[in-house]
Amino acid sequence: MKTPIILGIESSCDDTSAAIIQGRKILSNVVSTQKVHQNYGGVVPELASRAHLQNIVPVIDQAIQLANITKKDINAIAFTRGPGLLGSLLVGTSFAKSLAMALNIPLLEVNHMQGHIFAHFIEEDNLESPSFPFLCLTVSGGHTQIVKVNDYFSFEVLGETLDDAAGEAFDKIGKLMGLNYPAGAMIDQLAQLGDPEKFKFPIPKLEGLNFSFSGIKTSVMYFLQKNQNNPSFISENLKDLCASVQNTIIKALLVKVEKAVERTGIKNIAIAGGVSANSELRKKFKDLEITHNCKTYIPIIEYTSDNAAMIAIVGSLKYERSLFTDLNVSASARYHL
């Protein structure tokens, strides 16, 4: 029998994406990142849904073309049901349902957070998938979680953020420093030329495995206000500021990962989500192999930020187990793992 081909659709935030997967191999992965939000310093939900409506057909068409297949070759459609912005999710969900009906093929709902984690199961040369159980630090613009992954469809969220997500902290602090949204990648670049110990910001002291990032943002804000008498303070110190902020956020993340490893005794650890593209986080995470005797799994950059390949892989795993979704499904903004 031919290995099933699945179309994956992602539209939970500000990226419209479609991917084609056959088994665990990605045949195409097209991502259209909406530029319209840059002027607003954050995602504007209404504009995001409108842009998804404009993008979804061309993005899916391109994914099918690049995979060198036709619509008739698709065996099922996987889509992000949630969590995310409701208006954005509705575009992907409605489109997936209509296309599944038109092609008379099954539908597979996917949790966006599972997608981030399961990007690690996409077949890639020289890249090993994690073995169960493993811990995953999922760090994105909307979420920060440590998840214990027992099996393909069995998870326990051990800790999560009580306020801002790690990516949100990068973005909001970037905005304070006058950087464009989203600021994470730019902070990463500038930090490479700066001194991470130049400025000290407090690392949140929180019991257990939960995170908090709003305090870091507030202390950077007060620090910048205190230095307002020098109008060029930010521009003169931008690289050191970026390096110091990044250093603080990474320390706050890793202290919890270390705690989770000690608490569970699980040494297989992975990172996922947009912030897992951060070069310093990737380096420091890998160091846990030496300091904590862990086996680390670091995703390829293409699958860190929002993309449909990660939705397609979960779809493929669900298809193998006949975990299909009824056509009367609706999008769910607060869809838990």
Of positions 22, 114, 140, 144, contacts ligand KG4 by CB under 6 A: 140
Q: What CA–CA distance (Å, rounded) separates 250 from 184? A: 12
Of positions 140, 244, 304, 325, contacts Zn ion by CB under 5 A: 140
Touching ligand KG4, residues 228-287 (CB under 6 A) = 273-275, 277-278
Touching ligand KG4, residues 154-193 (CB under 6 A) = 167, 170-171, 182-185, 188
Least distance between ligand KG4 and beta carbon 167 (Å)? 3
- Tokens 């206000």 — which residue? 225
Nearest to 41, CA basis, from 186, 216, 133, 172: 172
Q: Does 305 bind ligand KG4 (CB under 6 A)?
A: yes
Residue 141: partners with Cβ closer than 8 Å, 6 or more residues away = 13, 165, 167, 168, 171, 182, 184, 274, 275
DSSP designation for 238: H
Q: Does 306 bind ligand KG4 (CB under 6 A)?
A: yes
Q: Does 109 bind ligand KG4 (CB under 6 A)?
A: no
Q: Does 74 bind ligand KG4 (CB under 6 A)?
A: no
Q: Does 29 bind Zn ion (CB under 5 A)?
A: no
- Tokens 């380096």 — which residue? 283
- Helix ranges (H only) for 192-232 are 214-226
- In 3-state terms the chain splits into helix, strand, coil percentages (rounded to 5) of 45, 20, 35
The smaller minimum CB distance to ligand KG4, of residues 201 and 319, is found at 201
The smaller minimum CB distance to ligand KG4, of residues 149 and 281, is found at 281
As to burial, measured by CB atoms within 10 angstroms (0-12 exposed, 13-18 middle, 19+ buried), residue 38 is exposed
From the list 19-27, 74-82, 136-144, 309-317, the region that binds ligand KG4 by CB under 6 A is 136-144
What sign results for the dihedral spanned by CA atoms 234, 236, 242, 245? Answer: negative
Q: Does 188 bind Zn ion (CB under 5 A)?
A: no
CB 63 within 8 A of CB 71: no
Least distance between Zn ion and beta carbon 334 (Å)? 15
Q: Regarding beta strands 144-151 and 154-160, do their DSSP bridges make them parallel or antiparallel, or are they unpaired?
A: antiparallel
Binding-residue total with ligand KG4 (CB under 6 A): 19
Least distance between Zn ion and beta carbon 317 (Å)? 18
Q: Does 115 bind ligand KG4 (CB under 6 A)?
A: no
Task: Give the interface with Zn ion as residue ranges (CB under 5 A).
Answer: 140, 306
> Where along the sequence are the contacts to ligand KG4 (CB under 6 A)?
13, 140-142, 167, 170-171, 182-185, 188, 273-275, 277-278, 305-306
